[in-house]
Structure 1
Amino acid sequence: METNHHAPLTSSEISVLWGFYTKNSLALCMMRYFLEKVEDPDIREVIQLALNHQQKDLSVAEEVYHSEQMAIPVGFTDEDVQPSAPRLFSDAFMLEYVRQLAVVSIATSGAAIPFVTRSDVTKVCHTVLQQGTELHEKAKETLLSKGLYNRPPSIPAPNHVDFVEKQSFLAGFLRERRPLSAVEISHIFMNAQTNGMGKALMMGFAQAAKDTKVKKFFVRGKEIAHKHMEIFHSLLVEEDLPSPKSWEDQITDSTVSPFSDKLMTFHTTTLIDSGIGNYGLATAASPRRDLGADYGRLMLEVAQMAKDGANLMIDNGWLEQPPPSPDREELEKP
C-alpha cells in the first residue's frame, strides 16, 4: 500500500543517507586508485564492479538529497585521491580489501533497514545491501580461485546434541577454560582477520602521510592492530587452530601518498567504528568470561584512538558534522 502524503525524513533516515554518502565517496576514491594500479585482469574485474556499485550507491542517495533540497555532504572528491601515485598495495591486498569492504556494506545496510520508513530511503538501503552481497560473492570466488581466501578453522562436525550442565561453561580465568565454541572461534578468527588487514593498511598510510601528527596516528594504529592480532592469534593457538593470513608483505616501499591525509584519517576512524561493532557482537556471542574481558579491554583501547582521531580531524578542519537537530535554546533567544 502506498502512502498518499509526503512524509518528512526522520532523523534515522537523514543519518543513514549521510553515512552512506560519506563512506561511499571514500570507497569510490579508493577504487579509482586501485583500478589505476591493478594488473591482474580477474582482480581488475572485481574492482571495476566495486567502483560501479559505489557510483550507483551515490547516485541513488543523491536522488533523495535533490528531492528534499538538502545539502549534499562534501565527503571525498577528486582532491582526495591521486590515481597516478606509485603503487602502495599489491593486487592481492586490493582484492581482500574489496571483500572486506563488501562485508561492511552488507552489515551497515542490513542494520539500517529496520530504522528507515520511506520507500526511497529503503531503496537506498536495499541497493547497498544487494550490491554488497553481489560484490562479496565475486571477491570471495576470485580469492578462492587464486588460493588467497582465508578459510576459518575447521572443527569436527557434531554427531549428537549436548546441553550445558555446569556453571564452569561460563568460566574462563585461571585453569577453568573449556574449549572454544564454534561461535567463539568464528568471531576470534574474523577479528584477527580484520586487524590483520587494518595493520597493513595503517603501514601503508603511515608511509604515505604528509603531516607528522597524522603519521604518528597511523603508526599508533598499526601497533594497536598488531597487539590485537597477537591476542586473537594466541587464543587460536591454545586450541591448536590456524590463524588468518597477515598482509604486511603486500605493502610496497612507496612513500608517495595516493590519498589525502584527511581521507586516510577518516578511513581509520571508520575502521575503528567497525572494529568496536565487531567486538560488541563478539562479546554478546562469547559466554566464556575471559573472552568478554578481552573484548571489553580492547574496545576501550580503540575507542580512545577514535577520540584522538576525531580531535585530529577537528584540529585540521576535516571533520564534517553529521546533520544536527535544531538548537532550540539558540532559536528561542530574543
Structure 2
Amino acid sequence: MEAEHNARLTSAEISQIWGSYQNGTLTICMIRYFLNHVEDDEIRRLLQYTLEISYSHVQKLTTIMRKENFAVPVGFTEDDVNVKAPRLYSDTFMLAYVQQIGKLGLNAHSVSTALAARSDLHSFFLECLHEYGDLHKKANQILLSKGLYIRPPHIPYPKQVEFVSSQHFLAGWFGERRPLTSLEITNLYDNMQRNSLGEAVLMGFSQAAKSKKVSQYMVRGRKIAAKHVEAFRSALSKDHVPAAMTWDSEVTTSTAPPFSDKLMMFHVTALIAIGIGYYGTSMATTMRRDIHFKYSRLTAEIGKYAEDGANLMIDHNWMEQPPLNPDRDELAKKQ
C-alpha cells in the first residue's frame, strides 16, 4: 500500500488542480482590471479581497505542481489584460460578478474537496471552499446594504403534509398544469439570473473583441442568453412568479479591449460548461415534463454553441490542452 505522503496525484486531483489554476489566473486578470476602474470603496475592498485569495490559490497550486514535477499551465497572464483600457462595466456589475465568483467557487471547491484523496489537497480545497464562502457572504452583505440583492421569489409556507396521488403531477404538455414546486422555481429563477448576468458579460465582450469572428460569436451568445432568460421568465410568469432584473444597462459603450480574445473565449466557454451543469441538475430535480423538455432543448443549444467556441479557439491556437491519459496504442507503434 502506497504511503500517504508519497501518494501520486489521482486523475481526479490532476483535473481539479489544472482547472483551478486556469480559473484562478483568469479571475486575477478580470479583478485587476475592475480594480483600476471601481469607484465605490466597499466594492473596491471586496475586489481587493477577491484578488488576494486568487493570488494565494494560484501560488499554492504552483507550489504543488512544481513539487510533483507537474507542468505548470500557461493559464492567463499580463498579456491577457490591459488594466488601463476604458471602463467596460459598472461598479454594480462588478459586485454582482464577484457574488457569482463566490457562488461558483463554492460549488467547484465542494466537488474538488470531495474528490481529493490526499490530505494536503483535501485541506487546500477545503480552505478554498471556506474562502469562497466568505467571499460570497461579503458580496451578499454589500448587495443587501445597497438594496441591490435580488431575493428569490417567496411562496406560502406549507400548512400540512400532502402526498402526490396522481400522475397529473408529472404532466405539463396538455390541459391544466400543476403549479411549480419550490425547487423548480428555485432552479428556473437561478438559471435566469445567471443567464441575465452572462448576457451582460457577452455584450461587453462583443464590443471589446479584436477579431470579427470572436465579436460575432459573442453577439450570438448574447442572443442565446437573452432567449434563455425569456424562456425561464415565461415559465415563471405563467405561475405569477416575478422575474429578476437585467444587467444590460451596466455595460458601457466602450469598444477598447481590456482582455485578450483568448481570455474572453475561454471565459465564455467555461461559463457554458457551468451552465450545462446547472441545467443538468435542474433537469434531475424537475418533475413537470414540459419544464424538463425545456432544459433538454436549451442544453442542446448551448452545447452546440460551446462546440463552435471550442473550434474557434483551436483555430487560433488558444485552447490549452488539459492533462491526457497516454495513448497506449500510439506508444506501441513507436517500439
| 1:298 partner SS | helix
Q: Which residue of 1 aligns with 2:37?
A: 37
Which has the higher mean CA deviation after the structures are superposed, 191-200 or 124-133? 124-133
Q: Which residue of 2 aligns with 1:64?
A: 64
Q: Which runs of 4+ in 1 moved over 4 A?
A: 2-5
Shift of 1:3: 4.4
Q: Which residue of 2 aligns with 1:252?
A: 252
Alignment of 1:37-186 (within 5 A): 37-186=37-186
Q: How many angstroms apart in 2 are the aligned matches of 1:23 and 1:193?
A: 21
The amino acid of 1:163's aligned partner reads: F
Q: How many angstroms apart in 1 are the aligned matches of 2:17 and 2:46?
A: 25
Shift of 1:163: 0.8
Q: Which residue of 2 aligns with 1:197?
A: 197
The amino acid of 1:294's aligned partner reads: K
Q: Which string of whole-angstrom CA distances, capped at 9 and with x for unpartnered residues, describes residues 159-184 of structure 1?
A: 21111111100111122310001110
Q: Which residue of 1 aligns with 2:25?
A: 25
Shift of 1:5: 4.7
Q: How many angstroms apart in 1 are the aligned matches of 2:22 and 2:4?
A: 31
Matched, 1:313 2:298: no
Q: How many angstroms apart in 2 are the aligned matches of 1:193 and 1:238?
A: 18
Shift of 1:68: 0.5
Give me the identity figure in percent. Answer: 47
Q: How many angstroms apart in 1 are the aligned matches of 2:170 and 2:76?
A: 46
The amino acid of 1:213's aligned partner reads: K
Q: Which residue of 2 aligns with 1:232?
A: 232
Q: Which residue of 2 aligns with 1:303?
A: 303
Q: Which residue of 1 aligns with 2:10?
A: 10
Q: How many angstroms apart in 2 are the aligned matches of 1:73 and 1:198?
A: 26
Q: Which string of whole-angstrom CA distances, capped at 9 and with x for unpartnered residues, describes residues 126-157 of structure 1?
A: 12211110000000010010011110001111
Shift of 1:268: 0.2
Uncovered stretches (5+) of structure 1, i.e. residues with no partner = none
Q: How many angstroms apart in 2 are the aligned matches of 1:159 and 1:176?
A: 23
Calculate the aligned-residue CA RMSD, in Å. Answer: 1.1
Note if contact 2:84-2:258 (Cα within 8 Å) is conserved in structure 1: yes
Q: How many angstroms apart in 1 are the aligned matches of 2:123 and 2:60?
A: 8
Note if contact 2:4-2:118 (Cα within 8 Å) is conserved in structure 1: no
Which has the higher mean CA deviation after the structures are superposed, 21-30 or 5-14? 5-14
Q: Give the direction of change, closer, same or farther, for the CA distance of 1:127–1:296 in structure 2 (3 Å limit).
A: same
Q: How many angstroms apart in 2 are the aligned matches of 1:13 and 1:40?
A: 39
Q: Give the direction of change, closer, same or farther, for the CA distance of 1:39–1:180 in structure 2 (3 Å limit).
A: same
Q: How many angstroms apart in 2 are the aligned matches of 1:145 and 1:175?
A: 45
Shift of 1:4: 5.3
Note if contact 1:57-1:127 (Cα within 8 Å) is conserved in structure 2: no
Matched, 1:223 2:196: no
| 1:37 partner SS | coil
Note if contact 1:197-1:247 (Cα within 8 Å) is conserved in structure 2: yes
Q: Which string of whole-angstrom CA distances, capped at 9 and with x for unpartnered residues, describes residues 82-136 of structure 1?
A: 1100000000000000001111111111112222201222123112211110000
| 1:85 partner SS | coil
Q: How many angstroms apart in 1 are the aligned matches of 2:165 and 2:3?
A: 53
Note if contact 1:185-1:236 (Cα within 8 Å) is conserved in structure 2: yes
Q: How many angstroms apart in 2 are the aligned matches of 1:155 and 1:219?
A: 36
Q: How many angstroms apart in 2 are the aligned matches of 1:86 and 1:127?
A: 35
Q: How many angstroms apart in 2 are the aligned matches of 1:62 and 1:297?
A: 40
Shift of 1:8: 0.9
| 2:241 partner SS | coil
Q: Which residue of 2 aligns with 1:282?
A: 282
Uncovered stretches (5+) of structure 2, i.e. residues with no partner = none
| 1:332 partner SS | helix
